[in-house]
């Protein structure tokens, strides 16, 4: 049976889907059913389902959802059944979007609620149905009444599965459900709870930027702390004894599980909490699509790197630059029945069928786990991050014994990966022998397509500051509109896209590095001067020329004050 985006299809339907997919692309004929989610795009899969049923396919529908049609409908039922009423056609037809046309649930549920309307079906993505439901659900954060309903001496016991889209009986649970539901709806990557001298508040990080502060009564400071500790089944007294606490819990958003990574450390005025939302609907991206829609030059260079049979491939960048997302997308591309792939992560962010994922619970587990990995006949090993000498040595050892190793590290530029390994205590010749590709990634905010404004030329001062030649004096481009619009939450930007810099370490370059004939930075400049491989600067300027972003956005994530050639 084929399982796709949470929907399972029986054997008969699965065979029909495979037949239609093969017509679309003959190479799909060789895929096993469990490979379909990783190798076939969502649009191709759902278009095949639409064709089998003789229904139209619309990949984007959320913007057309009529809020009034949801008045008497339960969003939980619709989300679970993968359907939603969309809009009226004339006076007698109801357009219904669904992802599983073989399920009778949509008609059984909607027909009694719209007795005088003919139901007309269209096919869309499961993620679009959730987005449509989210777009009309009225939830704008905790109200004053919700804050006032919380007693500071209440105790929460026995909270396990936390559903943030249902009404909670306990006021503190309702408050946290409102905050977490808002974060998911706005596609926030993080929630920060902060305590200052006379203020307690939270902010969301959306598209890389922190949002406005939302104040919480100071009296609830300890209650929020205790509630989250209880979600992770940690004793409340822990907050008084541990300077730093790491944990994890899961919320349910319209029956969609979302992992939350929890970090807490003490501050001068209390504590700082960071909740990282690991929403697999957003992190499960495919190379060449969505936020990972690299240009042709970058995609070709990345595909060539993926063909390397053994050695280390490292992606660098600051926290939140999408390194792990890209590595997991690479793993999905490399995933084959004949290849044994093992991952060691903390935590596991994206579980891919056919790949063995291991969750590292503490630093003490790293060495015995990687040693066990080496005895488990792996072809490819993913290490979540190189943090110290021990993890760096084990990555080197795994690569020089014939394994392909994928990992991440925190450095600003690709060439600094070599210097970072040296700082951790690895000899230069070992690095040169093992490292096959040094990559750097950034996520750049993209302009809102609804309100971006045309502009001609970049000022003389900015050209001097950012080392731009005189062709930019008259270059037509787009900039973010001041104040934005409703579609972009008045920011002028909507979403982000990844740009990637790739430095392959060829045998010739490895020999020069090992003998000290070239420095990592000189190597980077030499490759950039040749102009044959993607660099962060060139990729960013290309996005400006294409009208996808502006200078203000790229200068926040890339040092543009020097030329790379």
Please write the tens of the pLDDT for every residue from 538-553: 899 999 999 999 999 9
Fold (CATH) for 144-281:
Beta-Lactamase (3.30.450)
Show the tokens assigned to 359.
């969750």
Q: Pick from 295, 284, 263, 376: which is nearest to 328 by CA? A: 284
Helical spans, DSSP H, in 439-516? 460-465, 507-514
Cβ atoms < 10 Å from Cβ of 91 = 7
Angle at 208 between CA 271 and CA 250, to 5 degrees: 60
In 3D, which of 436, 442, 407 has the Cα closest to residue 424? 407
In terms of Cβ atoms closer than 10 Å to its own Cβ (0-12, 13-18, 19+), residue 454 is exposed
Structure tokens at 248: 């994890």
Sorted by sequence, the CB contacts under 8 Å of residue 33 that are 6+ apart come out as 1, 2, 14, 18
Structural tokens at position 283:
């992190």
Model confidence over 282-330: pLDDT tens digits?
555 667 666 677 878 888 888 888 898 899 999 998 888 888 888 888 8
pLDDT at 240: 62
Q: Alpha-carbon distance 169 to 531, whole Å?
A: 61
Res 374: pLDDT: 74
Residue 37: pLDDT over 50:
yes
203-212, 225-234, 324-333, 526-535: segment of lowest average pLDDT: 526-535
Query: How far is Cα 92 from Cα 197, in angstroms, rounded to an integer?
Result: 60
Q: What is the DSSP string of 127-195?
A: HHHHHHHHHHS---S--HHHHHT--TT-------SEETTS--SSHHHHHHHHHHHHHHHTT-SEEEEEE
Q: Are 523 and 428 in contact (CB under 8 A)?
A: no
Fold of 2-136: GMP Synthetase; Chain A, domain 3 (3.30.300)
Average per-residue pLDDT in the chain? 85
Q: What is the pTM of this model?
A: 0.72
Does residue 424 have a pLDDT over 50?
yes
**Would you state the pLDDT for residue 395?**
86
pLDDT number for residue 528: 77
295 compared with 48, residue with greater pLDDT:
48
Give the Å distances, CA to CA, from 382 to 190, 332, 414: 24, 12, 19
The domain limits of the chain are 2-136, 144-281, 284-445+496-539
284-445+496-539, superfamily in CATH? P-loop containing nucleotide triphosphate hydrolases (3.40.50.300)
Question: Rounded to an integer, what distance in angstroms lies between the CA atom of residue 192 and that of residue 427?
Answer: 39
């Amino acid at each position: 049976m084929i399982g796709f985006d949470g929907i399972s299809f029986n054997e008969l339907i699965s065979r029909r889907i495979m037949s239609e997919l093969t017509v679309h692309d003959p190479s799909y004929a060789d895929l096993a059913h469990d490979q379909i989610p990783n190798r076939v795009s969502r649009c191709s899969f759902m278009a095949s389902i639409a064709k089998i049923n003789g229904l139209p396919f619309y990949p984007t529908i959320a913007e057309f959802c009529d809020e009034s049609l949801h008045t008497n409908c339960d969003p939980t039922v619709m989300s679970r059944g993968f359907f939603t009423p969309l809009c009226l056609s004339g006076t007698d037809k109801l357009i219904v979007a669904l992802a599983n046309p073989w399920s009778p649930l949509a008609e059984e549920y909607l027909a009694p609620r719209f007795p005088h309307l003919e139901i007309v079906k269209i096919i869309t993505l499961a993620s679009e149905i959730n987005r449509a439901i989210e777009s009309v659900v009225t939830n704008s954060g905790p109200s004053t009444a919700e804050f006032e309903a919380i007693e500071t001496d209440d105790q929460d016991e026995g909270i396990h599965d936390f559903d943030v889209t249902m009404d909670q009986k306990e006021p503190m649970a309702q408050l946290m459900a409102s905050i977490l539901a808002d974060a998911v709806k706005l596609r926030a990557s993080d929630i920060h709870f902060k305590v200052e001298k006379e203020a307690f508040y939270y902010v969301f990080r959306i598209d890389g930027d922190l949002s406005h502060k939302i104040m919480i009564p100071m009296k609830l400071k300890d209650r929020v702390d205790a509630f989250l500790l209880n979600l992770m089944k940690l004793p409340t007294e822990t907050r008084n004894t541990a300077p730093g606490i790491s944990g994890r819990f899961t919320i349910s958003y319209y029956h969609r599980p979302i992992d939350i990574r929890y970090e807490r450390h003490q501050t001068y005025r209390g504590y700082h909490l960071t909740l990282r939302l690991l929403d697999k609907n957003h992190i499960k991206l495919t190379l060449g699509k969505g936020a990972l829609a690299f240009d042709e030059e970058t995609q070709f260079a990345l595909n060539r790197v993926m063909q390397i049979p053994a050695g280390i491939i490292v992606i660098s960048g600051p926290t939140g630059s999408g390194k792990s997302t890209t590595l997991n997308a690479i793993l999905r591309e490399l995933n084959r029945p004949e290849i044994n792939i093992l991952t060691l992560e903390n935590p596991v962010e994206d579980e891919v069928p056919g790949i063995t994922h291991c969750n590292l619970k503490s630093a003490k587990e790293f060495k015995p786990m990687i040693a066990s990995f080496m005895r488990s006949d792996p072809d490819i090993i993913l290490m979540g991050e190189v943090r110290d000498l021990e993890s760096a040595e084990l990555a080197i050892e795994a690569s020089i014994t014939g394994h392909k190793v994928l990992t991440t590290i925190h450095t600003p530029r690709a060439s600094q990966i070599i210097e970072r390994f040296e700082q951790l205590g690895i000899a230069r010749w070992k690095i040169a022998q093992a490292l096959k590709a040094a990559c750097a990634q950034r996520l750049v905010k993209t302009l809102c397509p609804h309100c971006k404004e045309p502009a001609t030329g970049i000022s003389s001062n900015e050209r001097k500051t950012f080392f731009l030649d005189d062709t930019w004096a008259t270059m037509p481009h787009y900039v973010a509109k001041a104040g934005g619009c409703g579609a972009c939450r008045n920011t002028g930007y909507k979403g982000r896209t990844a740009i990637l810099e790739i430095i392959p370490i060829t045998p010739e370059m490895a020999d020069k590095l090992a003998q000290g004939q070239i420095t990592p930075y000189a190597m980077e400049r030499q490759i950039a001067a040749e102009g044959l491989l993607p660099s962060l600067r060139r990729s960013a300027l290309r996005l400006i020329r294409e009208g996808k972003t502006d200078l203000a956005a790229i200068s926040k994530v890339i040092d543009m004050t020097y030329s790379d050639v």
